[in-house]
């Protein structure tokens, strides 16, 4: 008995996950709908679990399908690189701008996977504040930008938009029982800082700022050290940081994150793949 798997089955899964429809996926892959459905059933039999949930609105992945998808995308991407000649687009530069808030656990893996499956493409990543990145994007210095659409000041409509939860966090998830709440904040100007202070003021909760920095790593370190409480995207939690119990403090509004694609690279397949990887990871944080 062997655990080997036909990569065409994995390609079928990735296409359906991306397009949300077996019919559209079949058309893209040049197969009939019954043939693609048969491949998907074979994959489910091999995996031993239900991978797709079908409804009148389309097809979505089950929890097992979501767990398998990153591996399927990686394997399919690697097999594409085994072809004798890579597409011309893979020999171009791909310049990505990221705000520091989203550079945590999963997005570095997105970049690593993309670089591994596109060895002929020069990947350049710039991490900076949103205003600085949007200026660079407007000057044509970036091909892809992920930033807060409320702060980057771009008139262009983003390719996609997600809203990510912003939980209160503390070391061990413990909120200190003191009269004045010790806060760990990002330095101004910062929309998260404003949201935190506004929520506490509306709730009548006294507070004092014990630590502030413009660096995500510094804010994380202060929270891990137990200096106070703060708020970060769920993906940025580490080192014993955990959300406070529900209702302990007023809820914070979700953080919008948008991906912008430079119009001059609109038909670039490599950027399409990178954008889908980013969207998949950030969607896991959606509120």
pLDDT digits (tens, 9 = 90+) for 102-124: 776 567 777 777 777 777 778 88
- Within 8 A by CB and 6+ apart from 151, the residues are 130, 131, 191
pLDDT digits (tens, 9 = 90+) for 85-99: 444 444 567 898 988
- Enter the CATH code of domain 168-253: 3.40.190.10
**Assigned architecture for domain 7-80:** Orthogonal Bundle (1.10)
Contact 93, 121 (CB under 8 A): yes
Percent of the chain as helix, strand, coil, to the nearest 5: 45, 20, 35
Contact 158, 257 (CB under 8 A): no
Strands 93-98 and 58-61: unpaired
Six-digit token pair at 68?
């398998």
Six-digit token pair at 284?
């896991």
Six-digit token pair at 19?
């397009």
Helix pair 22-29, 7-19: axis angle to 10 deg: 130
**What per-residue confidence (pLDDT) applies to 85?**
45
Six-digit token pair at 259?
């991906």
**Assigned architecture for domain 88-162+256-283:** 3-Layer(aba) Sandwich (3.40)
Tens-binned pLDDT, residue by residue, of the chain (287 aa): 357 788 888 888 888 888 778 887 887 777 888 888 888 888 888 888 898 888 777 788 888 888 888 888 888 877 765 655 444 444 567 898 988 877 765 677 777 777 777 777 788 889 888 888 999 999 989 998 988 888 888 888 888 888 888 899 999 888 888 889 999 999 887 888 899 999 999 999 999 999 999 888 899 999 999 999 999 887 666 668 888 888 889 999 988 888 898 887 777 777 777 877 777 777 766 64
Say how many residues make up the chain. Answer: 287
- Please state the domain extents for the chain: 7-80, 88-162+256-283, 168-253
What are the helix (H) ranges across the chain? 7-19, 22-29, 33-47, 63-80, 106-117, 130-138, 149-152, 191-203, 216-224, 269-283
Q: What is the pTM of this model?
A: 0.63
Q: Is 215 helix (H, G, I), strand (E, B) or coil?
A: coil
Domain 7-80 matches domain 168-253 at the CATH topology level: no
Residues 94, 73, 58, 161: is their CA dihedral positive or negative? negative
Contact 44, 50 (CB under 8 A): yes
């Amino acid at each position: 008995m062997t655990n080997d798997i036909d990569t065409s089955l994995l390609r079928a899964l990735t296409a359906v996950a991306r397009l949300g429809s077996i019919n559209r996926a079949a058309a893209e892959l040049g197969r009939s709908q019954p043939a693609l459905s048969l491949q998907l059933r074979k994959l489910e039999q091999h995996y031993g679990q239900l991978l797709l949930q079908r409804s009148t609105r389309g097809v979505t992945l089950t929890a097992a399908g979501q767990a398998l998808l990153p591996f399927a995308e990686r394997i399919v991407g690697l097999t594409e690189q085994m072809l004798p000649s890579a597409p011309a687009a893979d020999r171009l530069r791909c310049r990505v701008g990221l705000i520091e808030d989203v550079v945590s656990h999963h997005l570095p893996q997105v970049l690593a996977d993309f670089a591994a499956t596109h060895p002929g493409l020069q990947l350049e990543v710039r991490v900076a504040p949103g205003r600085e990145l949007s200026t660079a994007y407007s000057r044509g210095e970036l091909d892809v930008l992920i930033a807060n659409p409320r702060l980057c000041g771009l008139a262009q409509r983003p390719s996609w938009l997600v809203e990510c939860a912003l939980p209160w966090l503390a070391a061990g998830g413990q909120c200190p029982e003191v009269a004045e709440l010790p806060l760990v904040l990002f330095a101004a100007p910062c929309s998260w800082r404003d949201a935190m202070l506004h929520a506490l003021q509306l709730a009548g909760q006294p507070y004092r700022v014990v630590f502030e920095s413009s660096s995500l790593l510094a804010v994380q370190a202060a929270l891990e050290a137990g200096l106070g409480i703060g708020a970060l995207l769920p993906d940025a939690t580490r080192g014993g940081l955990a959300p406070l119990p529900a209702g302990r403090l007023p809820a914070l509004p979700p953080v919008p994150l948008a991906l912008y694609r430079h119009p001059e690279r609109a038909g670039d397949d490599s950027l399409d793949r990178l954008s889908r990887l980013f969207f998949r990871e950030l969607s896991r944080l959606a509120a």
